[in-house]
Amino acid sequence: MIKTLKAQNRAIRNKIKAWKLHRISQKYDKDPLAGNPPNIANVRSIAILRWDNKLGDAIMCGVFIQALQQYRPDIKITLISPKLCADWVKKATHCEILLCDKRSQKTALNFKQYQGRFDAVIELGSSFDFKELTALHQIGAPINIGYNKSSHPIFNINIDSNAVHFKNRYLTAAQLFCRDAQLTDVTIPVIPFREQVALPTLSNSHNIAINLFGSSKYRQFSEAEAIKLLTYWLTEFSNDHLYLMPVPDKVPVLKSIVKQINHDRLSLISDTPSLELTLKLLSEVDLCFTPDTSVVHMASALNTPTLAIYADDPKNLKEWHPLSSQYELLLNPKAKDSNDRVYVYDFKWQDLKEKRLKLLQK
């Protein structure tokens, strides 16, 4: 009953968003060059709009920044983002940062202060609503570069729709400005970590990094489900040592899990979460187990073998699948409709057993 009511509420919210987009489109969704062709050759300043503060997106936009820093140092790149993603991109690429509040209509209206500052704005998200439209209008750049947004005139350049994965999207956008460069060797930049943190000595067993938490409540293991998962893993695989990744606001839960299971092959790697610590652990383990979240993309940047849990959503898989040379997927059941939600722990245990073995045998 409760699940049905939540689905109905989501459907109503989606209808309201669609109505707002239609209304604001009539006012703002116009080609900023009024039909004149955009001149990429004249671009010397670019803003990347990453205001949703999703770390996975920020990790991927680093390839665009790195490509232009290498091949087009004459173009100045600025990231517009809240602090979490801004800190990552600043440390990973040293590009200029403009801090903003979280994604909202109020924040979008505040972007008016940047009118005339940028020759182009990059916004390659799959979704688009009235907030993004307002933000682009307020920034007022003559060129807006998007992905699959030909139905919105404010995007007067759209990159190739075959560039589905977000890394490919950013590289394809970079190719617009680096036409004679081969960008296939551009890697995902990460923040410095090797000398910044120290890890305890890992075991002589298979060392497995375990992340239990994604960005939404449906992509997170509850304490009970986490205990069930980890107990099963330790029982089935006697040569695995499991290292839990500390996550902000989740350390008390993780400590409780370790205390309740009380096993010498289960450790919380630290009481203090940090991105540097996560990267250090991922660089040294044999396997990373995680829901679909930013940890997948950190593991991809380090080429760590990855066993990741994804929703059975072909579109999302194409956009965000792991990029490590070795990875396997555990798929949750397909959602009944666009308003339905499926929990991350709903997968087949036999799949976990078989796919873990594949990755550790390679």
Same domain, 138 and 220: no
Kindly state the average pLDDT of the residues 330-336: 91
Would you say residue 319 has pLDDT above 60? yes
Same domain, 100 and 154: yes
The C-alpha atoms of residue 3 and residue 114 are separated, in whole angstroms, by 43
Residue 61 lies in a domain: yes
Residue 279 lies in a domain: yes
Residue 86 lies in a domain: yes
Same domain, 169 and 220: no
Would you say residue 4 has pLDDT above 90? no
CATH number, position 121: 3.40.50.2000
**Under a CB-based contact definition with an 8 Å cutoff, are residues 289 and 279 in contact?**
no
317, 21, 5, 227 alpha-carbon torsion, rounded to 10°? 30
Same domain, 306 and 216: yes
Range of the domain at 170: 27-175
pTM: 0.91
Kindly state the average pLDDT of the residues 161-168: 97
Residue 14 lies in a domain: no
Which tokens go with 319?
A: 């956009």
Tally of domains within the chain = 2
Could you report the per-residue pLDDT of 173-205, keeping only the tens digit for each?
999 999 999 999 999 999 999 999 999 999 999
Same domain, 101 and 144: yes
Kindly state the average pLDDT of the residues 44-62: 96
Of 6-20, 239-253, 273-287, where does mean pLDDT reach its minimum?
Answer: 6-20
Residue at a domain's end among 131, 153, 175: 175
Residue 150 lies in a domain: yes
Residue 18 lies in a domain: no
The C-alpha atoms of residue 124 and residue 176 are separated, in whole angstroms, by 14
Residue with tokens 């933000």: 135
Would you say residue 260 has pLDDT above 70? yes
Same domain, 146 and 286: no
Kindly state the average pLDDT of the residues 246-252: 96
The C-alpha atoms of residue 73 and residue 172 are separated, in whole angstroms, by 18
Same domain, 227 and 151: no
pLDDT of residue 8: 57
Residue 296 lies in a domain: yes
Q: Is 97 helix (H, G, I), strand (E, B) or coil?
A: strand
pLDDT of residue 38: 97
Across-strand partners of 97? Answer: 79
DSSP per position, 164-183: -SHHHHHHHHHHTT-TTS--
Same domain, 170 and 315: no
Same domain, 233 and 333: yes
The C-alpha atoms of residue 330 and residue 253 are separated, in whole angstroms, by 24
Which tokens go with 303?
A: 């080429």
Residue at a domain's end among 135, 160, 175: 175
Same domain, 127 and 236: no
Residue 325 lies in a domain: yes
Same domain, 81 and 161: yes
Cα dist from 113 to 84, 106, 121, 140, 191, whole Å: 22, 13, 15, 10, 30
Same domain, 265 and 123: no
